[in-house]
Structure 1
């Protein structure tokens, strides 16, 4: 079955968390910014006007934030994978793209952002 072109997008979810390979990152924490796009067929919800026929984006945002805020890991790649699995746990979701931004990453040169993006499907 082809992936729907419909999607729900959450952009700029801000989470304070303690991920990183350095001790000071684990101790002090820092800001992470998460973008999520979930592909799913939105026509059942559009035709029925029933929230039960889609993914509740408010609840999804809370789940994503909880997944990022808890259980520190070394790599933002791991954070992205964790978020992807949370989104794919919703049965209607066929595919997800997750970007984890680490704008306060400990890099010795001036930069605007560091991010990883992954895409996962059922």
Structure 2
């Protein structure tokens, strides 16, 4: 299966188990890989034969910036649900969500999760 990648997408949201995270917010970095059959698009050179990654970006942005979840696992699940609903050609999704500055005392680059989902 072919893949479409969105890497390093940055959004400001209010997700987290702690009140501070839900009040102050933080930047979330999202990588998303979509499994899609791109054979037709590779031949036709027509946008209608692929998944418009700009619209996928907007779908992710809407979930991150317009909703509030305690867990980034739930945020990732909601994003996957929206992508499957809005883009029928997507057969599977791998999504990574990272927090670069969560309220954890220590030194690290980021913390996060990764989900892999197949079309139901």
TM-score (norm 1): 0.93
Choose the corresponding residue for 1:68, options 61, 64, 68. 64
Deviation at 1:24, TM superposition (A): 1.3
Moved more, 78-87 or 36-45: 78-87
Deviation of residue 27 (structure 1)?
1.0
Q: How does 1:7-26 map to 2 (within 5 A)?
A: 7-26=3-22
Residue 27 in 1 paired to residue 26 in 2?
A: no
Aligned to 2:73: 77
Gaps of 5+ in 2: none
Give distance in 1, aligned partners of 2:51 and 2:6: 12
**Is 1:43 aligned to 2:51, yes or no?**
no
> What TM-score results when the alignment is normalised by the length of structure 2?
0.94
Deviation per CA, 1:53-92, whole angstroms, max 9, x where unpaired?
1110111111111111122110010111111112222111
Alignment length, in residue pairs? 118
1:115 and 2:104 correspond: no
1:91 aligned residue (88, 91, 96): 88
